[in-house]
């Protein structure tokens, strides 16, 4: 399996997870609103709205959440030129845009990608 095939498969899986999360969120909100006395037709738009906001927030805010939770600090090229050269070589080879680069100050070796 080459890189492009794996990338396409991961994009499909991500979309599937986001749709599943939206459906799950809709079910939870619908059940909660029904339990607390809402009527079927009136609560559907509210449940859909809350589910869409949740999925949108997950898609566009998850990278910031992970960076905050891990204590990662965004760095500039002048902070670590060797790291930036390595990341730039990988992005050029894969045909992807240059990502933001962050470092987690920790004694254990670590690496992760987000965003």
User: Could you tell me if 42 and 9 lie in one domain?
Assistant: yes
What's residue 115's pLDDT?
62
Average confidence (pLDDT) over 92-101? 86
What's residue 60's pLDDT?
86
Average confidence (pLDDT) over 53-61? 85
User: Is residue 97 domain-resident?
Assistant: yes
What's residue 32's pLDDT?
83
What's residue 9's pLDDT?
92
DSSP string spanning 15-28? HHHHHHHHHHHHHH
Quick one: how far is CA 11 from the chain centroid? 11
Residue 58 has pLDDT above 70, yes or no: yes
How far apart are alpha carbons 24 and 51 in whole angstroms? Answer: 8
pTM beyond 0.85: the answer is no
Residue 97 has pLDDT above 70, yes or no: yes
User: Could you tell me if 39 and 85 lie in one domain?
Assistant: no
Q: Which domain holds residue 55?
A: 1-60
Q: What percent of the chain has pLDDT over 90?
A: 8
pLDDT digits (tens, 9 = 90+) for 24-35: 888 888 888 888
User: Could you tell me if 43 and 97 lie in one domain?
Assistant: no
User: Is residue 65 domain-resident?
Assistant: no
How far apart are alpha carbons 25 and 29 in whole angstroms? Answer: 6
Q: Count up the domains in the chain and report the number.
A: 2
Residue 102 vs residues 78, 84, 89, 106, 111: alpha-carbon distances, Å: 13, 10, 17, 13, 10
**Cβ pair 101, 74 in contact under 8 A:** yes
User: Could you tell me if 45 and 97 lie in one domain?
Assistant: no
Residue 40 has pLDDT above 70, yes or no: no
pLDDT digits (tens, 9 = 90+) for 43-52: 778 778 888 8
């Amino acid at each position: 399996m080459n890189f492009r095939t794996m990338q396409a498969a991961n994009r499909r899986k991500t979309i599937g997870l986001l749709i599943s999360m939206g459906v799950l969120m809709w079910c939870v909100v619908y059940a909660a609103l029904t339990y607390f006395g809402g009527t079927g037709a009136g609560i559907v738009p509210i449940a859909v709205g809350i589910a869409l906001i949740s999925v949108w927030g997950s898609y566009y805010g998850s990278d910031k959440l992970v960076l905050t939770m891990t204590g990662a600090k965004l760095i500039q090229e002048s902070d670590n030129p060797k790291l930036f050269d390595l990341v730039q070589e990988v992005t050029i080879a894969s045909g992807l845009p240059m990502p933001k680069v962050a470092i987690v100050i920790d004694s254990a070796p670590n690496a992760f990608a987000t965003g």
